[in-house]
Amino acid sequence: MNAPEFVVLPDSAEAERLFAQWDTTDWKTIRHPSGRPWIAGHWDDLRTASAGQNALTLIGLSDVTDRGLESTLTRLRSVEHLDHVLPDWRGSFHTIASIDGRLRIQGTAYGVRRIYYTTVDGVVVAADRAATLARLTGADVDPRALATRLMFPTPYPLTDSPMWTGVHAVRPGRYLTLAHRDPRPRQVRWHRPPEPVVPLAPGARAVRTELAAAVALRTRGGGLVSADLSGGFDSTSVAFLAARDLRPDDLVLCTGADHTTDDALWARRAAAHLPGVDHDLYPPEEWGLFYEGLVDERDRFDNPCGIVTTRHRTTASVRRMAARGSRLHLTGIGGDHLFLGFPAHYHSLLLTRPWLSAQRLRGYRALFSWPWRDVLSALGDRRSFRRAFAGIDPRDTTAHELSTVRLAWQYRPRTAAWLTDDCVDLITEALAAAAPDLEPLAPTRGRHLELEAIDLTTRDMAAWHDVHRAAGVPIALPYFDDHVVTSALSVRPQDRTSPFAYKGLLTTAMRGVVPEDVLARRTKATGSAASAGGLRRHREALTALWDDSALARAGLVDTDRLRRICAVPDSPELAEAGLSATLAAELWLRGAR
């Protein structure tokens, strides 16, 4: 099952000659009206229309019919006119248009589908994968970009830098435009996140409508569909929406039992409300622990991705569903990002809603055991995003704890103790280079944090898709469809962020779809036991991994220290995700070279 990838070329003799140099024997090709290659690669869903010298192509899943695409194309007078059309189309797809000699190439608004580009011999080539461009052009790994991925988390905007020199990223919400007569690439904004002004009741109705439409797009077309049923709100909501669209024998629900959490209990409770739907509850030993199946030579990711540390555990359901014949596996990925909410919203709301903000902040202080002194200090911090970013210390190895107050512009990035001085110097250079003209993703801390969290996660979704396809079944991410994200972010922060209501917006949206006794859940599993158990069980393999380290050859990590730490799984230096970030970077670099 080939991983989807494609490139887009301008209509020129130079681009045609460049394309002829590449090994594309197993690629499909769509051509410009001139006959020269326009779009080439592998894809599952593609819809295209042409009229004279103009053409419009969608790659991915959408609710647009062939007739609708053709009708749209005939009305387009420029690539800019697509701004008025695209907001009406649901789904998850890339858009590629050629109108009057100009190209427009774009992904989705929030980054599940992305666009990258590079210039080769004067020809600008775009692609949905940075790794594709690097492979075709022989680009070198950018050591500064690699070093920044060893921070945890890597702060915005350092995550915008692709991992190869000469490869550039198009920011989500922007499109790339090229003119045949002027091939210089430009990025143009086509989408802005919504202003969060919608009250809870109408906002919940919009979320329900958009999430139901996103799930229905995946369930149409027949065949067996499977879905995660972890017992949590996110996957449970998707499963019940899918059950409304499908016959019982066309849906299989899948739950991995874990004796350290109450997930299976809640999953069984939910499944009992869906008579006739098969519920596959499999044992913990089949689910496995973290750090199993770390190395897969097929990996060719755009950036280091933490899924390598949980590959075996994350794909357990898909492997079982592949044996059952599922054509698509629905997931709840993205629900946390949209509905958990960030306490930092109340840093700005304190000025306009002081009594409500004080009440909610007291609740968060009790929930997370925040010290009052730290809370008051954080509320008094009125630095701009630029000043806060300038204060990042690349030598900070202090771990975050549950009691760390999180009301700042970003979760403070840390660097692991095993990073070399050369690595920290590269990180320092990257921070300094990003500082001028730096602007946040949104005007307030809470809104910036939620957009950054969405961006960080959607950036990894191409890798998640690849790993699950390799395990046997493609996955679907309905929560990350643009329309679903926009509907959730449109709701007022105080209506979707509270220490007293777990995912209140989603709960309200799903009333009448998910039974009330299932909506009553107030707990959430963390997977910490599987992580700690994986460190203990696989410590020998983890220790041996550093004997021939690509990161060490690049001068970025101290492997002696890594081996010592991995040999002692209870080491405090492994308490947070620094090891996961380093493992992801190590395995990515091996594949990239």
Residue 501 pLDDT grade (very low, low, confident, very high; cuts 50, 70, 90): very high
Output the pLDDT for position 573.
64
Query: What's the rounded mean pLDDT across residues 536-540?
Result: 85
How do residues 468-483 score in pLDDT, each as one tens digit? 999 999 999 999 999 9
Query: What's the rounded mean pLDDT across residues 243-254?
Result: 97
Kindly tell me if the per-residue pLDDT of 177 is higher than 80: yes
Output the pLDDT for position 520.
86
pLDDT, the chain, mean:
93
Angle between helices 578-592 and 559-566 (to 10 degrees): 130
Domain topology for 200-339+454-519: Rossmann fold (3.40.50)
Better-scored residue on pLDDT, 291 or 114: 114
The rounded percent of the chain whose pLDDT value lies above 70 is 96
Kindly tell me if the per-residue pLDDT of 523 is higher than 70: no
Better-scored residue on pLDDT, 397 or 546: 546
Output the pLDDT for position 575.
56
Output the pLDDT for position 572.
64
Q: Under a CB-based contact definition with an 8 Å cutoff, are residues 206 and 190 in contact?
A: no
Sign of CA dihedral 419, 303, 233, 490: positive
Kindly tell me if the per-residue pLDDT of 84 is higher than 70: yes
Kindly tell me if the per-residue pLDDT of 321 is higher than 90: yes
Better-scored residue on pLDDT, 157 or 577: 157
| 22-26, 97-101, 171-175: range with lowest mean pLDDT | 22-26
Kindly tell me if the per-residue pLDDT of 442 is higher than 90: yes
Kindly tell me if the per-residue pLDDT of 290 is higher than 90: no
Please state, in angstroms and as integers, the Cα–Cα distance from residue 348 to each residue in 303, 371, 380, 410, 411, following that order: 33, 20, 11, 14, 17
The CATH class given to the 5-189 domain equals alpha beta
Q: Under a CB-based contact definition with an 8 Å cutoff, are residues 210 and 484 in contact?
A: yes
- What's this model's pTM, rounded to 2 decimal places? 0.96
Tell me the domain boundaries of the chain: 5-189, 200-339+454-519
Residues 6+ apart with CB under 8 A from 580: 152, 306, 309
Residue 278 pLDDT grade (very low, low, confident, very high; cuts 50, 70, 90): very high
How do residues 8-23 score in pLDDT, each as one tens digit? 999 999 999 999 999 8
How do residues 397-440 score in pLDDT, each as one tens digit? 877 777 789 999 999 899 999 999 999 999 999 999 998 889 99
Query: What's the rounded mean pLDDT across residues 473-496?
Result: 98
Kindly tell me if the per-residue pLDDT of 391 is higher than 90: yes
Question: Using only C-alpha atoms, what is the Rg of the chain?
Answer: 24
Query: What's the rounded mean pLDDT across residues 212-228?
Result: 96
Kindly tell me if the per-residue pLDDT of 576 is higher than 60: no
Residue 526 pLDDT grade (very low, low, confident, very high; cuts 50, 70, 90): low
Kindly tell me if the per-residue pLDDT of 181 is higher than 80: no
Output the pLDDT for position 366.
96
CA-wise closest residue to 495 among 202, 237, 110, 232: 202
Better-scored residue on pLDDT, 533 or 265: 265
Query: What's the rounded mean pLDDT across residues 153-170?
Result: 97
How do residues 345-381 score in pLDDT, each as one tens digit? 999 999 999 999 999 999 999 999 999 999 999 999 9
Query: What's the rounded mean pLDDT across residues 546-574?
Result: 88
Q: Do domains 5-189 and 200-339+454-519 have the same CATH topology?
A: no
Residue 525 pLDDT grade (very low, low, confident, very high; cuts 50, 70, 90): low
Sign of CA dihedral 262, 264, 265, 267: positive
Please state, in angstroms and as integers, the Cα–Cα distance from residue 244 to each residue in 220, 276, 330, 593, following that order: 12, 13, 14, 47
Q: Under a CB-based contact definition with an 8 Å cutoff, are residues 360 and 342 in contact?
A: no
What is the helix, strand, coil percentage profile of the chain, to 5?
A: 45, 15, 40
Output the pLDDT for position 503.
95
